[in-house]
Amino acid sequence: MTRDRFRVICLSLTIGVVFVLAWQAFTASRPAGKGIPGPLAVGATAWQMLAHPFYDNGPNDKGIGLQLAASLGRLALGYLAASTAAVMLGVALGLSPLLYRAVNPYIQVLKPVSPLAWMPLFLYTIKDSGQSAILVIFMSSLWPTLANTAFGVASIKRDYLHVASILQLSWTRRLATVILPAAAPAIVAGLRISVGSAWVAIVAAEMLIGGTGIGYFVWNEWNNLALTSVIFAILAIGLIGVLLDAGLARLSRRLAYTE
Amino acid sequence: MAFLEIDHVTKHFPASDGPGEVCVFREVAFSIAQGEFVTMVGHSGCGKSTLLNIIAGLERASAGGVVLEGREVTRPGIDRMVVFQNFSLMPWMTVFENIRLAVRAAYPSWDRRRIAGHVQRYVDMVGLTGAERKLPAALSGGMRQRVGLARAFSTAPKLLLLDEPFAQIDALTRGLIQDELIRMWSAGRNTVFMVTHDVDEAILLSDRVALMTRGPDARLAEIVDVSIARPRVRTALIEDPEYLRLRTHILRFLVEGGRVTTGEGRRGGDEIRGFETPLASLTSQA
């Protein structure tokens, strides 16, 4: 097992090193300032940015830490609101096959809509770009959790629900001690997909609304033709995405159960 | 008024192939006195588990009804605890938490400490001391059903419903857990209705054994009195002539009979015509 792991790590590192070397070789052959910047240039920018992640020199010049924090703040608001709504509605749908079948066509139609398509509607109705971006996150993280919760609750073993009704558990206790724990693995799987799509959507949403956030940062650096910053931002977005997913993977392991 | 009255219960299911309905059993009527242990024996498909679910309130009768202490059963309740064949423990809860869930529900006015003490008493009673923090997945089938029994007994239900509780437990462990059931039952004298297809188990545990004919359209054929003195010891029982006679009688019923030859079912205590049994003297009509 450990031997296998060691080989995986070695191979993984080799692939990374080969990629970076190839990248460097490719970019070194071109005159400086033209074409894609090389890894050394990106590294230098990264070093600079990470040295002062939280500086604030006005609206168009903030540290990457501040930008990421702004994005994560939006993500948290939109994602938590969406998850709460999705779990509540999902439980209702999962418990009532009738309701599920009645509502499902609407979900199926709304689910494939890109969350950004809602943006104009939000901007028009609430007239606040920041809140609109949060609502875009809301729309992007609603459906996977909703669908998974409904499925998870609908497939709870009858016996568990029978025990709950024999014990005459109150509605809240039934939810807290039987329904949610029983459906937890499915719900968390949905939450994991949702956080991924929310993180994907936020970059695009922030490019549209401007102001703060990592998406805006990428767009702004593109306007400055600072491609090293763009590349570094891409890496940072990817890394944060991995961390978000890892957090939920941990939660999923904690809530898993074997029958 | 009997303690528990099974009042001419009939159950239909929608037919699995095409329209129409299949009658699982028809006009089942008997009663159980308080403190009595009654077991129903029959082939698979005679609907005995369905009848148990109807008494539990988990399923509805198509006709007839169940009356417990003068009140009709319409829904599940904590006064009728079920011990399930597949244990039905919450897999995300420890042994202790599984029993505590039931104790909390049964005694809502108790404080934490009193609940914990009560739970611990039942954990100890079924010999699971030390395994309180284990999850059901870490336990053997026998240990899981011990938790199931502890959960059911800990709420002091008016009626205990045992749905083939030992069917998924290996033969060696089964005896031990049956003994545990006898101990717990003797201590509290709960009223018990059990469903099984194990004849020895039925005789060992019961005051009376109800025999169902083969399904579909099963009927209650007869109810056999088990007049063997308690406490019954498994080893001594094997040589008891009464035990052997009962055993032969029930087995013969299951092998040969299991069918009422008249088209008419049992109605209001009518004799079942055409049902012949060489040991008719042993039978009693409820």
| ipTM for the whole complex | 0.85
Count the domains in chain B. 1
Q: What is the pLDDT of residue B259?
A: 54
Q: Which residue of A has its CA nearest to B152?
A: A167
Phi then psi for A112, rounded to 5 degrees? -80, 0
Residue B263 has pLDDT above 70, yes or no: no
CA distance A18 to A27: 14
Report the 10 Å Cβ neighbour count for A14.
Answer: 10
Q: What is the pLDDT of residue B264?
A: 40
Residue B286 has pLDDT above 70, yes or no: no
pLDDT, tens digit, 9 for 90 and up, residues B96-118: 999 999 999 999 999 999 999 99
The distance of B268 to chain A (nearest Cα, Å) reads 31
CA distance A110 to B80: 46
What CATH number did the domain enclosing B237 receive? Answer: 3.40.50.300
Q: What number of C-beta contacts closer than 8 Å exist between A and B?
A: 59
Q: Which residue of A has its CA nearest to B161?
A: A166
Which range, of A22-31, B22-31, B202-211, averages the lowest pLDDT?
A22-31
CB contact under 8 A, B58 and A184: no
Beta strand pairing call for B37-41 and B191-196: parallel
The distance of A179 to chain B (nearest Cα, Å) reads 11
Q: How confident is the model at residue A20 (pLDDT cuts 50, 70, 90)?
A: very high
pLDDT, tens digit, 9 for 90 and up, residues B124-158: 999 999 999 999 999 999 999 999 999 999 999 99
Report the 10 Å Cβ neighbour count for A79.
Answer: 26
Select the residue of B82, B90, B91 nearest A166 (Cβ to Cβ). B82
Q: What is the pLDDT of residue B234?
A: 83
Which range, of A85-89, B16-20, B241-245, averages the lowest pLDDT?
B16-20
C-alpha angle with apex B254: B251 to B260, nearest 5 degrees? Answer: 135
Q: What is the pLDDT of residue B215?
A: 79
Round the CA-based radius of gyration of chain B to a whole number and report it. 19
- Considering only residues B176 and A33, tell me which one the structure prediction assigns the higher pLDDT: B176
The distance of A149 to chain B (nearest Cα, Å) reads 17
Residue B84 has pLDDT above 80, yes or no: yes
Verdict on whether the full-model pTM lies above 0.80? yes
Q: Has residue B101 been placed in a domain?
A: no
pLDDT, tens digit, 9 for 90 and up, residues A221-257: 999 888 999 999 999 999 999 999 999 999 999 999 9
Q: What is the pLDDT of residue B180?
A: 87
Structure tokens at B169: 């437990």
Contacts of B115 in chain A (CB under 8 A): none
Q: Which residues of B62-97 are buried (b: 16+ CB within 10 A; e: fewer)?
A: bebebbbeeeebeebbbbbbbbbbbbbbbbbbbbbb
CB contacts under 8 A, B 189-248 vs A, are none
CB contact under 8 A, A168 and B135: no
The boundaries of the domain holding residue B264 are 4-79+157-284
At CB < 8 A and 24+ separation, what contacts does A210-218 make? A210/A129, A211/A59, A211/A129, A211/A130, A212/A62, A212/A66, A212/A67, A212/A70, A212/A71, A213/A67, A213/A70, A213/A71, A213/A74, A213/A133, A214/A64, A214/A67, A214/A68, A214/A70, A214/A71, A215/A71, A216/A67, A217/A62, A217/A64, A217/A67
The distance of A105 to chain B (nearest Cα, Å) reads 28
A250: three-class secondary structure by DSSP: helix
Q: What is the pLDDT of residue A27?
A: 87
Residue B262 has pLDDT above 80, yes or no: no
CA distance A169 to A180: 14
Name the nearest CA neighbour of A43 among A215, A235, A237: A235
Mean pLDDT to the nearest integer, B189-197: 93
Q: Has residue B100 been placed in a domain?
A: no
Q: What is the pLDDT of residue A32?
A: 63
Q: Which residue of B has its CA nearest to A178?
A: B90
Chosen for mutation from B90, B95, B147 (greatest number of chain A CBs closer than 10 Å) is B90
> Where do the domains of chain A lie?
1-34, 37-255
- Considering only residues A27 and B257, tell me which one the structure prediction assigns the higher pLDDT: A27
pLDDT, mean over chain B: 87
Share of chain B above pLDDT 70, in %: 89
At which residue do the structure tokens 């829904």 appear? B75
Q: Has residue B96 been placed in a domain?
A: no
Beta strand pairing call for B159-163 and B191-196: parallel
Q: Has residue B226 been placed in a domain?
A: yes
Quote the CATH superfamily of domain A37-255: MetI-like (1.10.3720.10)
pLDDT, mean over chain A: 93
Select the residue of A166, A178, A258 nearest B56 (Cβ to Cβ). A166
pLDDT, tens digit, 9 for 90 and up, residues B217-237: 899 999 999 999 888 888 888
Name the nearest CA neighbour of A197 among A253, A147, A255, A251: A147
Three-class SS string for B114-128?
HHHHHHHHHHHHCCC
Cβ of residue A178 closer than 8 Å to a chain B Cβ = yes
Q: How confident is the model at residue A143 (pLDDT cuts 50, 70, 90)?
A: very high
Q: Has residue B126 been placed in a domain?
A: no
